[in-house]
Amino acid sequence: MASPQSKLTAAILIISETASKDPSTDKCIPALSQVFSDLGSSNWHISTTSIIPDSISAIQLAILKACDEGVNLIITSGGTGFAVKDVTPEAVGPLIEKQAPGLVHGMLASSLQVTPFAVMSRPVAGVRGSTLIITLPGSPKGAKENLEAVFKLLSHACLQASGGDSRQMHQGGVKKLEKEAGVGGGETTGGEKASGHKQAHHHGHGCGRDHGHGGHHGPKAHTAPEDRPQQSNDPSQGPSRRHRHSPYPMLSVADALQQIDAHTPSPTIVTLPVNETLVGHVLAEDITAPESVPAFRASIVDGYAVIAGADAPSTKGTFPVAMISHAQAGEHQELQKGQIARITTGAPLPPGATSVVMVEDTLLVSKTDDGTEEKEVEILTGDIQVGENVREVGSDVQAGDVIMRKGEGISAVGGEFGLLASVGVKQVSVYKKPVVGVLSTGDEIVNHDREGELRRGEVRDTNRPTLLTAIRGSDFEAVDLGIVSDKPGALEQTLRDATRKVDVIITSGGVSMGELDLLKPTLERSLGGHIHFGRVAMKPGKPTTFATIPTKSSLDGSRISTVVFSLPGNPASCVVTYHLFVLPALHKLAGVEPRGCARVKVLLDGDVKLDKQRDEFHRAIVKAGGDGVMHAVSTGGQRSSRIGSFKGANALLCLPAGEGVIKKGEMVEALLMGKLVGDV
């Protein structure tokens, strides 16, 4: 926090394509520096001046850098007109956390005293963190006059923004403040009095094309900005105006995973019919069998159903074959003493029968007249016991038995689906599997299968198809949300729509830093979301970002969170961070335990070099060796932009930061991303 004794710091950012190419053409830095030395040399120190081209991302980067450095005031000049290249308000607007419409009015009001063309300027002003940002026109004269109009109020505003005690500052009342600022209240606005200039002249870049604010002549502000309730004229601002600091400290991988665990919603429960789409779900209830298996007494051999037992005559002897029981539905007559019935494996025993004699223990005696059926059969043994060769009702599953437990998964390979099907369970409560939406950002990104050659600057989108296949490969539904342009508002709209359709959103940044920097303010300010981390100490994947957006559940309208991951802008890092961070969140939402990739010990078949600073997740091929050990081979170059180095990789070696190498023949931990294939 700045104290009155220490000087306040200011950064001057000139936004001009021309001057960024040839700094000698710039006249604004001297003009604005002059204002500081004329009006506030004892209070102010200009810590940075720089010249930036007309690019949203370049402007945002410069603003964020200055904010990170903790300057009290950022002044931009240029790019506030209506020309196509004028993007300063679009770049600065999303970064502002508290709007300062009063300063905007003050600057416009003073300019309108000088020229009606002031309506052609689109300034924005406000606070980010503890830094005040104001945007001035691009002409040296206009910029100077606008700055002069509000200059004397700026130190007060900056002190407040940096956490100064406003009550103390207000001691002595508004009059005292005005006196200190060299302005008078009442009839005149602070702006014109402070600026004290009179000549008419042109302002800004956009003069000559009339798309003005229309009829907005010389508004007079009657309150000081700091005396107004916090308010906003920014339509992109969401319902939550709570001040948020987003310092994005560097988290360890373990802390990042802990944050994901803490902020990913618990699974929701849905009832689904038992059909093949159930595979991949986890049960949210114990399942009891509604019926027994088998549901009838069934033969386990081909042979003859007989009546055996203490009070029956011996089964040895020749008997008429009274009926036939095949494995099919239908009623049977009761078997009488002295009769037998031909029966096939799995067929129901006729009523009255106690046992089955296998066909091997019998001889055919006679056939029916037409020769097609057996008439009499001799049974060669008298040792048949009651129940012999019979599968009793419920001998596999008794009605009422718990056949599966809450938390157990229904896999494609485990036979769980068959078990549910066998006892006639028609529907079950399971955890809803999350639906995952994937989008890419950046005007330079084109669909990977776009016809024709790339135009200069275009990049084929590899992240989105890569992620979509990874999600589907891990058994979750993926929704393609397409490519979002860098146009203001496009990202917000896409994210807002997505929260109604999907549970998890994955964005993968374009190639430039600027787009990521647009994501964070959009999440926090426009959507009322919260960024839980924005940097992780790992390689690759350092800029991985995890956030949640408050959302209403589509199931019951309750308040839940949509989970957002912003993954780094290249496919290899995307795949690593998907498996490391996204998968555990999907597993939590789906009730899958344990979460994330399986962790195994592998034997290195070659040396691997460690990264000095960061824990590394090194792509590798792991194979099951004939020696009963899993062997790992690095897939070569690990530079994060090399999708080629990912080919064939089914695992990530977990390598701690450190000096030197881990030698061939040593064991390391690995995360299995895919199936184990082949032998070594």
Ligand X SMILES: *[C@@H]1O[C@H](CO)[C@@H](O)[C@H](O)[C@H]1NC(C)=O
- Please identify, using beta-carbon distances, which residue of 274 and 399 lies nearer to ligand X: 274
Handedness of CA 396, 400, 401, 403 (dihedral sign): positive
- Please identify, using beta-carbon distances, which residue of 416 and 517 lies nearer to ligand X: 416
- C-alpha to C-alpha distance for 616 and 608, rounded to whole angstroms: 11
Write the DSSP symbol of residue 207.
T
Binding mask 452-491 for ligand X (x = CB under 6 A): ----------------------------------------
- 393 is an interface residue for ligand X by CB under 6 A: no
CB of 490 to ligand X, least distance (A): 33
- Please identify, using beta-carbon distances, which residue of 502 and 604 lies nearer to ligand X: 502
Q: Which bin fits 63, alpha (ψ -120 to 50), beta or left (φ > 0)? A: alpha
Q: Tell me which residues in 584-623 interact with ligand X (CB under 6 A).
A: none
- Please identify, using beta-carbon distances, which residue of 61 and 421 lies nearer to ligand X: 421
What are 14's strand-pairing partners?
Answer: 51, 77
- Please identify, using beta-carbon distances, which residue of 276 and 449 lies nearer to ligand X: 276
Count Cβ atoms below 10 Å from residue 220 Cβ, excluding itself: 13
- Please identify, using beta-carbon distances, which residue of 269 and 676 lies nearer to ligand X: 269
State the Cα torsion 465-466-471-472 to the nearest 10°.
60
Bond prior to 265 in cis (omega within 30° of 0): no
- Please identify, using beta-carbon distances, which residue of 81 and 434 lies nearer to ligand X: 434
CB of 452 to ligand X, least distance (A): 39
- Under a CB-based contact definition with an 8 Å cutoff, are residues 167 and 226 in contact? no
Q: How far is CA 455 from CA 53, 58, 460, 570, 594, in A?
A: 22, 22, 10, 20, 46
Binding mask 222-261 for ligand X (x = CB under 6 A): ----------------------------------------
CB of 430 to ligand X, least distance (A): 9
CB of 410 to ligand X, least distance (A): 12
CB of 477 to ligand X, least distance (A): 11
What residue is closest to ligand X based on CB? 275
- Please identify, using beta-carbon distances, which residue of 1 and 412 lies nearer to ligand X: 412
- Please identify, using beta-carbon distances, which residue of 410 and 653 lies nearer to ligand X: 410
- C-alpha to C-alpha distance for 303 and 299, rounded to whole angstroms: 8
CB of 273 to ligand X, least distance (A): 5
State the Cα torsion 138-143-144-150 to the nearest 10°.
-170
State the Cα torsion 21-25-28-34 to the nearest 10°.
130
Three state DSSP letters for 141-178:
HHHHHHHHHHHHHHHHHHHHHCCCCHHHHHCCHHHHHH
Q: For residue 430, report the phi and psi dihedrals to the nearest 5 degrees.
A: -135, 170
- Give residue 169's identity as a one-letter amino acid code: M
CB of 162 to ligand X, least distance (A): 56
- C-alpha to C-alpha distance for 94 and 300, rounded to whole angstroms: 74
Start-to-end C-alpha separation, the chain: 62
- Please identify, using beta-carbon distances, which residue of 272 and 323 lies nearer to ligand X: 272
Q: Tell me which residues in 100-159 interact with ligand X (CB under 6 A).
A: none
Residue 311: closest CA among 333, 337, 334 = 337
CB of 272 to ligand X, least distance (A): 4
- C-alpha to C-alpha distance for 611 and 354, rounded to whole angstroms: 75
Count Cβ atoms below 10 Å from residue 17 Cβ, excluding itself: 14
- Please identify, using beta-carbon distances, which residue of 276 and 370 lies nearer to ligand X: 276
Write the DSSP symbol of residue 31.
H
- Please identify, using beta-carbon distances, which residue of 230 and 277 lies nearer to ligand X: 277
Binding mask 264-293 for ligand X (x = CB under 6 A): --------xx-x-x----------------
- Please identify, using beta-carbon distances, which residue of 248 and 417 lies nearer to ligand X: 417
Total binding residues toward ligand X, as defined by CB under 6 A: 4
CB of 553 to ligand X, least distance (A): 18
CB of 277 to ligand X, least distance (A): 4
- Under a CB-based contact definition with an 8 Å cutoff, are residues 126 and 67 in contact? no
Residue 230: closest CA among 171, 161, 180, 183 = 161
- C-alpha to C-alpha distance for 79 and 404, rounded to whole angstroms: 65
Binding mask 534-573 for ligand X (x = CB under 6 A): ----------------------------------------
- Please identify, using beta-carbon distances, which residue of 231 and 277 lies nearer to ligand X: 277
Contacts for 213-218 with beta carbons within 8 Å, 24 or more apart? Answer: 213/119, 214/119, 216/108, 216/119, 217/112, 218/109, 218/112, 218/113
Chain residues binding ligand X by CB under 6 A are 272-273, 275, 277
